[in-house]
Each structure stands twice: as C-alpha cells, then as structure tokens.
Amino acid sequence: NAIIGERYRWPHTIPYVLDDSLEMNARGVILKAFERYRLKSCIDFKPWSGEPNYISVFKGNGCWSSVGKQLTGIQELSIGEGCDKIATVQHEFLHALGFWHEQSRSDRNDYVSIIWNRIISGKERNFDFYDDQVIDSMNVPYDYSSVMHYGKTAFGNGSEPTIITRVPDFMDVIGQRMDFSDSDVLKLNQLYNCSSSLSFMESCDFELGNVCGMIQSSADSADWQRLSEVSEGPESDHSNMGRCRGSGFFMHFNSSSVNEGATAILESRILYPKRGFQCLQFFLYNSGSEDDQLNIYIREYSTAHLSRTLTLVEQIKDIPSGSWQLYHITLNATNKFRVVFEGVRGAGASLGGLSIDDINLSETRCPHHVWHIRNFTQLIGSPNGSFYSPPFYSSKGYAFQIYLNLDSLPKIGMYFHLISGANDDQLEWPCPWQQVTITILDQTPDIRQRMSKQQSLTTDPFLTIDNGNYFWDRPSKVGAQVIFPNGTQFQRGRGRGFPNFMSQEMLKSRDFIKGDDVYILLTVEDISHLNTQNDPLPTLNVNDLCASFRCENDGICILQNGKAECRCRSGDDWWYMGERCEKRGSTRDTIVIATSSTAAVFALMLIITLVSVYCTRKKYRKEPSSRTVNTIMENQYA
Amino acid sequence: TPEIFDVDNGLDRDIFDINEDLGLDLFEGDIILDEIQER
C-alpha cells in the first residue's frame, strides 16, 4: 500500500551509501536484496555520487526506515543487529520506496481480525488502519503472503496470535519473510511505472504453442517436439508436475528415432544483454541413452559486422535418467544473442530421449553449487533426520559441507561447516570474510514469481569460541575427525547457521518440494572487498613472517598475498610511506614542493625570456648595417 | 559430530521482535515518520 503523493517517489535508480558501521554480512545481504529488486522490478541502485537525495544504510538500533523519499538529502535506513536477512532488507527498502504495511490498508478488516486483548498495552496504535485517501492499495487484492505483512504474534503480550486471518490456511503464511510476493511486485511495478527489469531476460515453461519464440534449426538431423508426456519418461512436464494431466508441456528430443551422432537444435529468440553476464537455468530429463548429451551454445551477433559467432558454453554429459534435474549454466554474452540447445544422440540403446522445461535466463550470478535432495518427504519421516551435503569447494578453495537438521521439526535447521580440503595449505586461516548463502529453491516455473527462502552468514576471522580458538580456523586444527561414506577420513569444523532456516509448513507450501525433490543452492563468495575497515587479519603466521620484517615509525606488519607488508601510520595532514614506513610525508611538504616547483619553473621561464629578448635585440641592431652594405654593393653595380 | 552454533544465538526474531527487545517505540514497529506523516 503506497503512500499517496508524487513527492515521495524516488527515481528508478536510487543512490545509496553503505555506512562503515554496517557488519560485513549485512553488506553482502543488502547487495543481494538489491539484486532481487533488479530482477523483479525496474528499481536499480547505484553508489551515491553526489545526488541531492540518497539512502544511507547503517547499523543503527534495530531495523527501520522512513516511508518514501524524504527530500532531506541523506535518508537513513537501519539494518541493525539481527536485521541482516535478505527479506528484512527488502521489507525496509519497500518502506523507503513508499510502502506501508499490508495490514494497514483500509479494507484489512475484511481479511484479518485483530485480537486487541492480546496486544501489549500501549502498542494498539500499531494496528491502526488508514483511509484510502491516505494510502493506496492500488487495486490489488489483500495479500497474506506480502513481505510487508506482520507475523501472527506481532506486538503480542504472550504467544497467542494478535492477528487471525479470515482464511485459516493463511495463519502461518502472514509474516513470512521469504521474498516479494506477486502482489508486492505488482504494486511496486505499478507505483514506479515499470515495464521491464534490469536483469530478467526470459522465462519459458512451453505451455504456449509459440514456445516463447524459440526456433528449430535446419542444420540438424531432427527437431525438438512440444509434448506433454513421453512413454519412456517424463510422464509429465516439470512446470505442473502432473497436477494438470495432459496440459503441461515440455520440449523433447527423441534420440531413439535417430542414429548415433544425430543432433536436434533449438534456439531461443534473440536476447539483448545489459550487464554482460547471465545465468541460464533449466530442468532436464533423460530417458534416452546414457551417452546422450546436451550442448549449450550462445550464438552472438556482433553489432559492427552482423557476423554470428557460435560459442560452445557447456557439454552436459552423464545425465541421470528417470527424473528432472536442475542445471545452471553461466553465460557471458555482451552482444545480442540466442541460447542454443543441441541434443546429441550418443552410443548405446535409447528408448526415449532428452527433455527440457522451465527455462529461466536472467542477468544474475548463478549459484556455485546445487545440493539435490531426492525423496525428501521420506527424509522428513525418518528416525535420524540430520544429513550432511556432499563436500563442496568454494571459489577460493575452501572445502565445506552443509548440515540439514530435520530433528527439530517443525523447525528445519541449516548449518555451514568448513572441512579439511586439498587447498588448506595455500589458504588463509582463520577463514576471512567468506559469505555463505544458502537458498531453498522455490521451483515455481517463472523466476519472477519464485519466493525462495535465502539466508546468509559470513565467516568472521576474529570470531572466537569459549576455549579461545578461532571459530573459522583450519578444520585440521579445530575440527573433529569424521569419515565419508567411502571411508575417507577428514576433519569437520564447528557448524554455524540457522536453527529455524524455514518451517516445515513453509517448506510444504509453494513449489519448494516438487516431484519429491528439494534443491538447495549454495554460494560461498569472498566479500572482503566490502570491508571498509581494513583490519589486519588474525592470521597465525603473521608473527612468524613479521618477526624478521620490522616496520618503522609505529607501522603495523600484515600479511598480504603471503608476504609481509607494512601498513603505515597517517594523520589528517601527514603520513608515513615506503616499504617500511621509513619516509615521512605531509601536506605541508606537498605545498612546499608545489611552491618551489612553481618558483623554479617561473625562474627558468624568466631566464629563457631574457636570453631570447637579448638575442633578438642583438640581431636587429646588426641588420641595418648589413642592408646598407648590400645597397651600396647594388648601387656600385648600377 | 562437531558442535553447531546459531547465528543469532537461537533467537529467531522478526523485525518487530528485534525492535521491541530494543525498546524502540517506532510507528507500526519499524517506521520513522516525517512531520507531514506525523500529522
């Protein structure tokens, strides 16, 4: 529900500042929340560069914001302790963009009942609602799943609900903080007249006969067919997963009908990139040969020469058969392009083929790893409901596992553990500023309508535990010895995470579980570049290497890329510099140098000018006599 | 099995719980009003 008044609207690109007070995890989470805005709306964010009004995000007391643009220059938005969750940041920025809470709208009593005697005395005003002359619900139905709705026990004097939904099924839906709901997106896009988004490119579930403008190639041996089932599998598409039998469609390459080496090529419509990086996501089903493969290309059109470059991006081999599998492919198209899906018939017998469905293409970063959990409902009922993911490596080389705890249902816990790995000798310990982002994927076909649950945590190299050890130190030093199912021994560090990552009720909602499959997307990325403090890291080797590397003038020795370096002291108008901080500089020195350089240049120019004047005068004094001589000579000849 | 720790010390708090625990008395729990909005 939007605040009425154009003066409260921001421009589509909002200038922001991340204040130094913000914790590292909050910084990364805020940037991820911006990405959700970029995907689902036309709202973008840019670092402040002198615009008259901007949002300063800082670590204040609590989580809060103003409503709408305030025209005060700096406008504060607080992401305090415990507020560093993506949906909380989305909620506070929706306030800043001009939205009130959902249950404040004028017609709310048609949809929820407020239980006044369960509200903390004096907090009743928080349940006021407003006339439609004050706030505008934009002709969008009341939305229980809005990221702007209170939870059922908000401002309660006990654990009993203060808000009861008129439709009981929504009691546990209100107050969910997962992602923007469809209505949140609709209202945001209406308020800001959005017609496109920065990062969304394409979504296709093949439900319509035009197959999203995809085209068959003539330079192949077979075509992809639009089908709703194949006798050898899949029995249904992925979008509807059998809920509407015969109505859900996917694209199928029948490899059983062609010879080895035959291909079928399906190309997307032409797409126009803005950011130069893309993530292609789709579901793939194999009912053909084990050796059938899917090649992903991009066909790029150079703007200068109208030439077409076909680049192989990924060869997907060894596709498991019998179930839909999720794939992510990173693309880096900078010119207009098509995505090309090439099915290739492999050796060996085939009774079916390859099928693709629920394609999404966005200019976002792909997750680094996917943990695919099959037969999930069986796991929920099993006596020992705790599981570790397979081991993964982060892009920096840290090995890790995710621990999924189903022992405390209805709460579902999720934890991150560093484990010993092949690169440990080359890595920094304690592990500094790696942000772990865990997402349970809402498998709704269209990426814009997904409400995936995401939580992030960041490895703080200064974090210690009771015995004084660093929490994120090397697992071989602080971890416990454990054994993989194949018998390999390794060390697993302590876990850190979320005891209530999401509730069982939430997990059963939407498309978190589809075909009894759950997908957990994992990204572990280095966010040390977001650190504005530049604290020296508590690396244990610092003392060893720094023992023989003395910094003068109270400089501090740190390790940078495995080498000792000095960080020199500085003040407002002075600083030390040099390899060991041995030289002193100051603004006064700079002024003296600048002044003396100017004087020297002036003196030099003066000398050159005087010499030039002297030479010129001397030359012109001589010239008349020589002309006279010439004249005389001419006259003599005459 | 190594120990596990909660990022927010086991407190699973929503925006309004966090602000309530801090004793903040903000409009609708998490909103700062300008003068016009106050009126």
Q: What is the mean pLDDT of chain A?
A: 90
Residue A335 has pLDDT above 50, yes or no: yes
Residue A214 has phi, psi (to 5 degrees) of -75, 150
Residue A622 has pLDDT above 80, yes or no: no
Q: At how many degrees (to 10) do helices A86-96 and A24-40 cross?
A: 60
* Helix, strand, coil fractions of chain B, as percent rounded to 5: 30, 15, 55
pLDDT of B39 reads 81
* pLDDT band at residue A533 under the 50/70/90 scheme: low
Of A63, A405, A500, the CB nearest to B15: A63
What size, in residues, is chain B?
Answer: 39
Q: Which of A283, A160, A116, A299 is nearest to A217 (CA)?
A: A299
The residues in B 5-34 lying below 8 A from A, measured between CB atoms, are 5-8, 10-16, 18-20, 22, 24, 26-34
Does residue A202 have an active-site annotation?
Answer: no
Which residues of A are less than 8 Å from B13 in CB distance? 82
Mean pLDDT computed over A218-227:
94
* Alpha carbon separation from A526 to A363, A395, A437, A530 (Å, rounded): 20, 8, 11, 9
pLDDT of A611 reads 86
Q: Collapse the DSSP code of B38 into the 3-class scheme (helix H, G, I; strand E, B; otherwise coil) and give the result.
A: helix
pLDDT of B1 reads 66
pLDDT of A540 reads 46
Residue A76 has phi, psi (to 5 degrees) of -85, 145
Choose from B3, B4, B11 for mutation: most chain A CBs within 10 A: B4
Of B2, B5, B18, the CB nearest to A62: B18
Distance CA(A420)–CA(A399), nearest Å, equals 6
pLDDT of A566 reads 72
The answer to whether the CB atoms of B3 and A61 lie below 8 A apart is: no
CA distance, residue B31 to nearest chain A CA (Å) = 5
pLDDT of A546 reads 60
Q: Which of A60, A95, A65 is nearest to A187 (CA)?
A: A95
Tell me which of A22 and A381 has the higher pLDDT: A22
Q: Collapse the DSSP code of A321 into the 3-class scheme (helix H, G, I; strand E, B; otherwise coil) and give the result.
A: strand
CA distance, residue A47 to nearest chain B CA (Å) = 23
pLDDT of A532 reads 81
Of A83, A126, A496, the CB nearest to B28: A126
Residue pLDDT, tens place only, A397-415: 999 999 999 999 999 999 9
**Are A54 and A14 a contacting pair, CB within 8 Å?**
yes
The answer to whether the CB atoms of B29 and A155 lie below 8 A apart is: yes
Distance CA(A175)–CA(B14), nearest Å, equals 8
Question: How is A510-579 classified by DSSP, letter by letter?
Answer: TTSSBTTBEEEEEEEEE-GGG-SS-PPP--TTHHHHHHT-PPSTT-EEEEETTEEEEE--B-SSEEEEST
The answer to whether the CB atoms of A64 and B32 lie below 8 A apart is: yes
Question: How is A433-444 classified by DSSP, letter by letter?
Answer: SEEEEEEE----
Query: Residues A92, A102, A363, A428: which is the catalytic one?
Result: A92
Mean pLDDT computed over A9-37:
98
Residue pLDDT, tens place only, A506-524: 999 999 999 999 999 999 9
The answer to whether the CB atoms of A62 and B22 lie below 8 A apart is: yes
Residue pLDDT, tens place only, A417-433: 999 999 999 999 999 99
pLDDT of A18 reads 97
The residues in A 354-373 lying below 8 A from B, measured between CB atoms, are none
* pLDDT band at residue A537 under the 50/70/90 scheme: low
First to last CA, chain A: 109
pLDDT of A628 reads 41
pLDDT of A141 reads 97
Choose from B7, B22, B25 for mutation: most chain A CBs within 10 A: B7
Q: Give the pairing type, strands A13-18 and A54-58.
A: parallel
* Alpha carbon separation from A268 to A210, A271, A303, A325, A337 (Å, rounded): 11, 8, 19, 20, 9
Most distant CA pair in chain A: distance in Å? 132
**A34: amino acid identity, one letter:** F
pLDDT of A157 reads 93
The answer to whether the CB atoms of A499 and B10 lie below 8 A apart is: yes
- Count other C-beta atoms under 10 Å from residue A108's C-beta: 21
Task: Kindly report the three-state secondary structure assignment for every residue of A346-413.
Answer: CCCCCCCEEEEEEEEEECCCCCCEEEEECCHHHHHHCCCCEEECCCEECCCCCEEEEEEECCCCCEEE
* pLDDT band at residue A349 under the 50/70/90 scheme: very high
CA distance, residue A494 to nearest chain B CA (Å) = 5
* pLDDT band at residue A560 under the 50/70/90 scheme: low
pLDDT of A563 reads 66
